[in-house]
Amino acid sequence: MTGFGYNVNGFGAFANRSAPYDIDWLVVAGGGAGGGVYAGGGGAGGYRTGSQSLIPKGSELTVTVGAGGASTSSASTRGPSGSASSLEGSAITNMSSSGGGGGAGGGGGSLQAASTGGSGGGGAGQYSTIFNGAAGNSGGYSPVEGYAGGSRNSSFNGTTTYASAGGGGAGQVGQPFTEENYSYPSMVGGEGGNGLNWNSLGTYYAGGGGGNANSAGGRPGGSGGGGRSEGRGGSPGVSGTANTGGGGGAAYTNGSGAGGSGVVIIRYQSAAQLATGGTVTSASGYYYHTFTSSGTFTA
């Protein structure tokens, strides 16, 4: 009986070290780049969340973190899309998120339409040729991975423009371009759509890139790492923030911002660390394993 009592006490003291436990996760793909020359903002990488009960000890989950789309300075060229991120293993329902769509290409020849993705790239226009923003990927998910890039404002007269719209974010569509005609400084690009704050932890992810503007300073990207666009006569568009899945800012003449790389975060509630993999931190009774590059989470 003494031995039985000892075992019961031991089990109670170390239950979390061997018993199956629950995890939550965030999977964000790489953001799309802004388009080249008078072009649209890049869409944010797909944003997906989930949870799984009773992860057995020894389970291995394979983590893939997607890269952001590369910047471009070529006229009329849409920004490259980002790459997918994923979390897979036999103990969970596999989860993947789509790379963000690149922003539409702008001036200098025939335009290229924005790309669809986790969030869609922003639209752009030159003279009478107008492309609206591309769709985000709903995929039947609830909530959706991301929202569409911005399109032209309903008041736009459709004759001449060099402005563009912001890329979509995980929480909001990209904003439209609102100018009426080709006369500086009336051309105003759209801001990138805002991202989301996972579990209200204070950090936003998956914001869209800003559309270009015929004014100094460019247009801001959305909260969650979206890059600011290039303004008139300014520096190239700003890249999406690394490991947020933010979309890249659009180019005006000097090149677009690249998409920000993705991130995968796994958390569990415990008084002690129960797994390995990624960068491990703890706060408010949870342990967080943050993957900024591909790797393995081992329970």
Reduce the secondary structure of 28-84 to three states and give it as a string.
ECCCCCCCCCCCCCCCCCCEEEEEEEEECCCCEEEEECCCCCCCCCCCCCCCCCCCC
Banded pLDDT at 73 (limits 50, 70, 90):
confident
Quote the pLDDT of residue 130: 72
pLDDT band at 221 (very low <50, low <70, confident <90, very high): very high
Q: What is the pLDDT of residue 105?
A: 83
Q: How far apart are the first and last CA of the chain?
A: 33
pTM of the model: 0.89
Q: What does each C-alpha distance from 256 to 52, 98, 127 come to in angstroms?
A: 39, 21, 21
Residue type, 267: R
Q: Which range is least confidently modeled, 1-10, 77-86, 111-120?
A: 1-10
Q: Where are the domains of the chain?
A: 23-299
β-sheet bridge partners, residue 196 = 205
pLDDT for the residue numbered 61: 96
As a whole number, mean pLDDT of residues 65-79 equals 91
d(CA 86, CA 98): 9
- What is the rounded CA–CA span in Å between residue 136 and residue 215? 28
How far is C-alpha 73 from the chain's CA centre? 21
- 217 pLDDT more than 80: no
Residue 164's pLDDT band, with cuts at 50, 70 and 90, is confident
Q: Judge contact between 225 and 196, C-beta under 8 A.
A: no
**Of the candidates 290, 188, 274, 195, the residue with the CA atom closest to the CA atom of residue 241:** 195
Over the stretch 251-297, which tens digit does the pLDDT of each residue have?
888 889 999 999 999 999 999 999 999 999 999 999 999 999 999 99
Q: Is the pLDDT of residue 11 over 80?
A: no
11's enclosing H/E stretch is helix 2-13
- pLDDT, residue 15, reads 38
pLDDT tens by residue, 19-53: 688 999 999 999 999 998 888 999 999 999 999 99
For the stretch 127-138, pLDDT in tens is: 666 777 788 876
At 4 the pLDDT is 37
